[in-house]
Amino acid sequence: MRTMAIAFGLIALALTLLVHSASAEKSKMGCEIGKEVWNASIGKCEPGVSKWAKKAAAPRAKKPVPAKK
């Protein structure tokens, strides 16, 4: 009886881990973060990256510091 309880507990733990790892992070609209973008004109998610994410990922160019005289 005890081994059955332990076995059921381990099975439940394994199923919980499998389900949790399979679910991806979603935005408010239900799109996968980093893989899909909400398209308001058609009313659903599309594959791609948002234009704001592209700009935020680009490194800024540093301005040259003028030499002191």
Q: CB of 24 within 8 A of CB of 33?
A: yes
Place of tokens 């935020």: 56
Amino acid at position 39, single letter = N
Q: pTM for this structure?
A: 0.40
User: How many angstroms separate the Cα of 29 from the Cα of each of 36, 38, 42, 51?
Assistant: 10, 7, 13, 17
The pLDDT-based confidence of 6 (bands split at 50, 70, 90) is very high
Q: What's the pLDDT score for residue 14? A: 81
β-sheet bridge partners, residue 36: 47
What pLDDT is attached to residue 55? Answer: 63
17-69 pLDDT, tens digit each = 776 555 667 788 888 888 888 888 988 998 987 776 666 556 666 777 777 77
**Residues whose CB falls within 8 Å of the CB of residue 43, separated by 6 or more in sequence, listed in order:** none
Domain boundaries along the sequence of the chain: 24-56
The distance from CA 59 to its chain's CA centroid, rounded to whole angstroms, is 22
pLDDT at position 34 = 81
Tokens coding 20? 């949790």
